[in-house]
Structure 1
Amino acid sequence: MLTHDEVDALSEHLGFNHWPRAIGNPRQHFVYATEQVAKHYKDWWGDSSCFISTAGYDNLVFDNGKQIPRSIIYGLTFFDFDHSTKPENAFADAQRLSQYLTEIDVAHWVQYSGSKGYHLFIVHKATRFRFDHRDGSGEALKTLVNQTQTHLKRTLGLNTLDEQTTGDPKRLCRFPFTPHIDRHGKKSGRYAMPVSTKILNEMSHNHIENMSYRPQYHLPKLTGQRLTLPELIKLLDVKLHKPETEIRPIIDADFGFTDATSETAVFTASLDERCMGVTNELKRRNPSHSSRVYSALFAKTIGMPMEAFEEVWVELGTRMGYVDLHNKEHRLHQMKTLFDDPRYVSFPNCSTLKAKGCCVGEICPRYIDMGEMKPRKIVKRRWRKKDEN
């Protein structure tokens, strides 16, 4: 079990060093010092996972009874490589990205998850970003993160990168040297374990997996320059797209319905026919704010009562492992606001869906390429004044 001194040293060394930040098992709450982190991990040890947010927070406020940050201290970009049957594929992708970052002298570290995947963290010079859903700054940061991760995935062929975890600056990850326990409570007997670049390049996945049953505590060596997120984007030469032109990749996941006639299965199929992009976003473990709103709007437009939509949402959240499913009071308040407001009466058009990151592109039969649309002919008319005589 980790001591407070070890938690403190790991947090400072690996980039979990701006407070407050969130921890969870996976239910989240804010903590303000490593003493609190160590205490909670001690209470959860062996029974629940020990997660920590990849970002620190600032300007915490209460919004409809829920405490949320208006600013983020962004210090880590998180990559989650996972393969359900071939963890050696995830190992190969983590190795490939680590080698590339080493070549361009960017600070990072790698961790074996304790199960079938690997995590890689790019360590940044921490930067404060505004993060507010009211002015679009939250979505803007998500877009920056997503496009950076997607650029590296496509450039290096990182096929095991979990699309459900991309574009999420508030992502939680496993804290190093804690037991791996999945969301169903199943224990693997292994630990999340930092892996040095030497071991990553010279040893196999099987060797690393065997080491994780009894990992030796250490602080992995970090080399390379620590860039801000904008500096990294410039170094990588990421071609940033405007939101209205950004197409989201298809998430390789399934809701897993066994009864196609159930209300949740029918609702999801209907929503998918109306907009594949929104359904695609609902496959993330932390769906975007826009996809949540639009799925509720769709339910309202087809005459589904709020109570029925809540049941659908809970089933979806249970199947996909939504990180905030426990926040029922806050969720119901937001639903009631939308369902009771007569101004919300229609589903958004394609332009809005693209701008809000809910479009999958040409695979969707409703997709319209705005760049290829022919401009409408404008007819100018001259009106004569009415003869007053």
Structure 2
Amino acid sequence: MLSQVPRLLEVNLSHNMIHSIDMPLKPGEDNVLFSKHLVNLKVIDLSSNRLTVFPHIAAVRTNLKYLNVSRNNFIELAHEPENPCLKPTDQALEILDMSLNSLKSVRFFERRRSLYGKTKHVDLSHNRIDLEECIEDMDEARLVWGCLSPLSWLTALEVIILSHNQIACIPMEFQHYLPNLRYVDLSHNKIKQIWHGDLLFTRARDTKDIDLFQDKWNPCTVKNEFPGSNNLTIDLRNNSISSLQLPDDKVRVVLPGCDIGSQFSRVKLLLGHNPFVCDCEVFKLLRYSTMEMRPTSALERHNGHMLVLPAVIDIQDLHCSEPDSMNGKAIADVSSWAYHWLPMIGLCWNHLGVQSELRKTSTKPTKVEAMDEPPT
């Protein structure tokens, strides 16, 4: 049908009742909707249908830039066999919208790496994705570890929307392996705690860092593109985050008068609208949010290399959920809840930052202030 209009640039079949797009009986056959005759096709919109099988787009993918299959019935994706002769540079797809389906896994990105070699914007919101297929990984060069998901194969990625899913962790590719990343939406998920390692990001600022930047797992990395060269925002709002892990031996005071910006990555974590527990550790959170102190990486503590640096945190709209006397109080507004903490000052006196935040003075420095180098 569509083969009769070879100059067609856009196909919009949204808001219908399409259950399937015909697949070829044998490789190379033309009895598919998006056939090789549509060499100019750049946009396909199949949103709001009843598809359960990913459309066959092999014949048009060298020019196709936008594919929308949102609001369908996908549970798991299976692609047509990959053509070994096609390279990521032969693919044109830049924007992929798969939101509002029932997807649980993102393994299809790993299985079809070539198709997504140029993909910049991916929307996977409102699915059932949990990223349980993550694989624990240790980067010996940067001394970082975490969970690596198939999303790491989206090497050109700039924006990814993962809101309203069932994700309980932050995959490490967002921190260290995607050089063009600018925005990650992880809001409305099931993240309960931010670990120390979740706060650290690669920031390769010049060619001196190139050796440590190269990744054995991804030999195709472009040498002139470094993670951290763009400003990155990660939205963690509306999760179930109750605490940040800031161990005393892995934080360092930021000395006033220094180039503070050089001691942080170009990453901002949005933490608002989470049920934060305002125990003694809240004072560390406050000092971290005002860049008076910062987490340090193992790489920095061991050899002083500043390749891996902490994110800046935004605690706007972050309120206490516990204790009951502070429930609903804005953490950033210390004056609104400091009075409730007076009976507990004795319990928290030795924790980092209590004197600073309650405007108390002391002749004894805090534990971290007294350190030249935090213990490893």
Higher relative contact order (Cα pairs below 8 Å, separated by 6+ residues):
1
Structure 1 or 2: more helix by fraction: 1
Same fold, TM-score > 0.5, yes or no: no
Larger radius of gyration: 2
TM-score by length of 1: 0.22
